[in-house]
């Protein structure tokens, strides 16, 4: 059994993916081929924003968005404490300070009440200028944008939506990667929409940001590649990856997102009485980058993971360490009390196999072993 079965997906989409790869190789259009433009157009349309700028990976996407806003030393961005490292790393890379905010126990996303507390604290201390809120759509569920947008407007902050795991999620019919002033995603193979290597994209309705991002993605180009008007990067999406992503996007839209939602509902039905299962609000749709359960304590979580491994069931722990405990941020001072939820989640969460090609029997098999273990462990 695979945690995320990319081989099964390839078996299903093989014909189209192979044809796409062949086309790129035959035409030797390896860089900036027509598939890149085609993909950007389709992604922007699906997400419901004016511009999509693809790039080399989801981390570059975050960095380039922050560069577009000229985030710098002396300024800060608010980042959830429970997320993948890149959400805060990119803020620090720009020379600014990431201010970590605890998350909600049910949604795993940034807690808007704690966000406002953190903003007020920074303003009171008067050392850093608040500029950006980096929201993360963790595990496929969009953050609480209704509350966070209100707070962003109140304090004049920009929202950078880190939709690396969120692609395909929705609130009230509005799609993830359209909630930020700039939004980003990642096409790392294991993400909801993954390619066969590294890849990423940036989404915005802002024409000026779009023009800037297209420039810095290719060495700060002006009117053409050898006219350089600013210092930039080399962060393009390969044409090969775009050709692979096109049929994968079509499958995602046609049935994959529905399939993961069906799998998640089945897990919850089977496990809901024994462990804490994910809660998806009425107006929300998740793209289920992960299916996360919470156990009673760390000992139970670790023992369950070991037991499932013996049964041939792969699981993962996302994330074992909160951001404020990462050694890279060791120079910063934190009030340990502020991250109680995040600290607890790192000790109790466990992610189960989740992908669009997970079979009903596999879900039953996994759930039955979890139920057996819990019954014995808590007896
Ligand atoms: C994967 C991920 C990223 C980084 O994406 P890469 O394409 O691996 O650089 C950033 N933020 C979050 C929340 C992620 O899960």
Q: What are the pLDDT tens digits along the chain (379 aa)?
A: 999 999 999 999 999 999 999 999 999 999 999 999 999 999 999 999 999 999 999 999 999 999 999 999 999 999 999 999 999 999 999 999 999 999 999 999 999 999 999 999 999 999 999 999 999 999 999 999 999 999 999 999 999 999 999 999 999 999 999 999 999 999 999 999 999 999 999 999 999 999 999 999 999 999 988 999 999 999 999 999 999 999 999 999 999 999 999 999 999 999 999 999 999 999 999 999 999 999 999 999 999 999 999 999 999 999 999 999 999 999 898 888 999 999 999 999 999 999 999 999 999 999 999 999 999 999 8
Q: Which ligand 1 atom is nearest residue 165's CA?
A: 15
Rounded to 5°, the CA angle 302-303-309 comes to 90
* The pLDDT value given to residue 225: 83
Q: Which 3-state string (H, E, C) describes the chain?
A: CCCCCHHHHHHHHHHHHHHHHHHHHHHCCCCCCHHHHHHHHHHHHHHCCCEEEEECCHHHHHHHHHHHCCCCCCEEEEEECCCCCHHHHHHHHCCCEEEEECECCCCCCECHHHHHHHHHHHHHHCCCEEEEEEEECHHHCCCCHHHHHHHHHHHCCEEEEECCCCCCCEECCEECCCCCCEEEEECCCCCCCCCCCCCEEEEECCHHHHHHHHHHCECCECCCCCCECCCCCECCCCHHHHHHHHHHHHHHHHHHHHHHHHHHHHHHHHHCCCCECCCCCCCEECCCCCEEEECCCHHHHHHHHHHHHHCCCCCECCCCCCHHHCHHHCCCCCCHHHHHHHHHHHHHEEEECCCCCCCHHHHHHHHHHHHHHHHHHHC
CA of 42 to the centre of ligand 1 (A): 21
C-alpha–C-alpha distance, residues 176 and 165, integer Å? 10
CA of 379 to the centre of ligand 1 (A): 40
CA of 370 to the centre of ligand 1 (A): 29
* The pLDDT value given to residue 296: 96
CA of 178 to the centre of ligand 1 (A): 17
Nearest CA to ligand 1 atom 6: 58
Q: Which ligand 1 atom is nearest residue 198's CA?
A: 7
* The pLDDT value given to residue 340: 97
* The pLDDT value given to residue 294: 98
Q: Phi then psi for 366, rounded to 5 degrees?
A: -65, -50
* The pLDDT value given to residue 38: 98
CA of 232 to the centre of ligand 1 (A): 21
CA 197 to each of CA 5, 9, 190, 241, 245: distance values in angstroms, whole numbers, following the listed order = 15, 15, 10, 7, 11
The best mutation among 87, 134, 142, 190 to test binding of ligand 1, ranked by most ligand atoms within 8 Å of the C-beta, falls on 87
Longest Cα–Cα distance of the chain, Å, equals 71
Pocket of ligand 1 (CB under 6 A): 57-59, 83-84, 86-87, 136, 162, 164-165, 186, 188, 198, 200
The 129-136 sheet, strands edge to edge: 51-55, 200-204, 182-186, 158-162, 129-136, 75-80, 97-101
Q: Which ligand 1 atom is nearest residue 187's CA?
A: 7
Nearest CA to ligand 1 atom 10: 86
């Amino acid at each position: 059994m695979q945690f995320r079965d990319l081989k099964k997906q390839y078996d299903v989409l093989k014909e189209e993916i192979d044809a796409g790869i062949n086309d790129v190789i035959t035409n030797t259009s390896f860089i900036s081929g027509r598939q890149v433009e085609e993909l950007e157009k389709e992604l922007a349309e699906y997400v419901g924003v004016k511009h999509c700028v693809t790039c080399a990976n989801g981390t570059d996407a975050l960095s380039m968005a922050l560069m577009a806003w000229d985030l710098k030393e002396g300024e800060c961005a608010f980042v959830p404490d429970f997320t993948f490292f890149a959400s805060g790393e990119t803020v620090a890379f720009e020379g600014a300070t990431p201010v970590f905010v605890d998350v909600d126990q049910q949604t795993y996303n940034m807690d808007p009440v704690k966000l406002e507390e953190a903003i007020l604290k920074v303003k009171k201390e008067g050392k850093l200028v608040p500029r950006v809120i980096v929201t993360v759509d963790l595990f496929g569920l969009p953050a609480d944008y209704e509350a966070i947008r209100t707070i962003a407007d109140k304090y004049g902050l920009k929202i950078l939506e880190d939709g690396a795991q969120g692609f395909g999620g929705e609130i009230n019919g509005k799609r993830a990667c359209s909630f930020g002033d700039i939004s980003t995603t990642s096409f790392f193979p294991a993400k909801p929409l993954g390619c066969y290597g590294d890849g990423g994209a940036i989404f915005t309705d802002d024409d000026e940001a779009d023009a800037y991002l297209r420039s810095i993605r290719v060495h700060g180009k002006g009117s053409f590649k050898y006219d350089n008007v600013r210092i930039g990067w080399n962060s393009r999406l390969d044409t090969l990856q775009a050709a692979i992503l096109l049929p994968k996007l079509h499958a995602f839209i046609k049935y994959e997102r529905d399939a993961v939602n069906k799998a998640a509902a089945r897990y919850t039905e089977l496990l809901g009485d024994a462990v804490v299962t994910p809660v998806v609000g009425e107006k929300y749709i998740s793209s289920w980058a992960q299916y996360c359960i919470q156990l009673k304590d760390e000992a139970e979580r670790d023992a369950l993971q070991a037991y499932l491994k013996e049964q041939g069931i792969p699981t993962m722990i996302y994330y074992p360490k909160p951001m404020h405990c990462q050694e890279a941020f060791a120079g910063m001072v934190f009030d340990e009390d502020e991250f109680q939820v995040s600290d607890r989640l790192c000790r109790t969460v466990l992610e189960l196999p989740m992908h669009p090609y997970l079979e009903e029997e596999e879900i039953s098999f996994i759930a039955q072993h979890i139920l057996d273990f819990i019954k014995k462990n808590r007896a």
